[in-house]
Amino acid sequence: MAAYIKVPHTLYPDKTITVALYRNVSCKELRKSVMSGAIEVSLLKTSMVIDEFQVLVAANKALHLQHAGTMMTKNVHSEILFCLSPSKNISESFQSFGAADSDTNVVVAIADDQDDERLDKVSEILGKSPVALTELSELADTKLITKAYKVSADELNSYDLRDAVVSRISAKEIITAGKGKV
């Protein structure tokens, strides 16, 4: 079983998306490196990720928005985090879906890391290699995810939680359009 995945972007096959899971680590140094700009990656809270497909959808969308010049955030890695969230509030998205210093598990998403240079740097900073992505299901907080994405019990009778979440990520602009307006 592969410890991480790397897939080409759907519309821009020269761009890649890498997703990796690290367990039993300290996120503090890695977050410091990301915040200082020493390394560009997305650090995602494992409790808010059902499986890697959810991250791939958000990353695919972020790369497309970057290519179109319509990102809401400063770089593609912060855009991945923002796309993952159902909120239109960037700060709220970062707080709810971004890894914290105190987190001991983290999902790392990397846009366009062709030679795994940034993934190797993450492993070096954390002092560990990524683990199998199948372990994500053990770390996901389905109650918290259901609440954050406002998934109803009726909806879960027809679809699984991952499908409901991915639909919301894909249609975020449509779902949130007009909210807060009279």
pLDDT digits (tens, 9 = 90+) for 116-144: 999 999 999 999 999 999 999 999 999 99
> What pLDDT score does 182 carry?
37
Structural domain for 63, as ranges: 4-171
> What pLDDT score does 176 carry?
54
Give CA–CA dist 38/121, Å, rounded. Answer: 10
Domain assignment present for 131: yes
> What pLDDT score does 47 carry?
97
Triad 32, 35, 39: Cα angle to 5°: 85
> What pLDDT score does 177 carry?
52
> What pLDDT score does 11 carry?
84
Domain assignment present for 141: yes
> What pLDDT score does 181 carry?
44
**Residues of the chain under the 70 pLDDT cut:** 1-2, 175-182
Domain assignment present for 134: yes
- Inter-helix orientation angle 117-126/28-36, to 10°: 140
Number of domains in the chain: 1
Give CA–CA dist 172/143, Å, rounded. Answer: 20
| Cβ neighbours of 173 (radius 10 Å) | 9
> What pLDDT score does 2 carry?
67
For the chain, strand residue ranges (E) read 4-8, 16-22, 42-45, 106-111
Domain assignment present for 178: no
Q: 142: domain CATH number?
A: 3.30.2380.10
Domain assignment present for 50: yes
> What pLDDT score does 3 carry?
86
Domain assignment present for 180: no
> What pLDDT score does 91 carry?
95
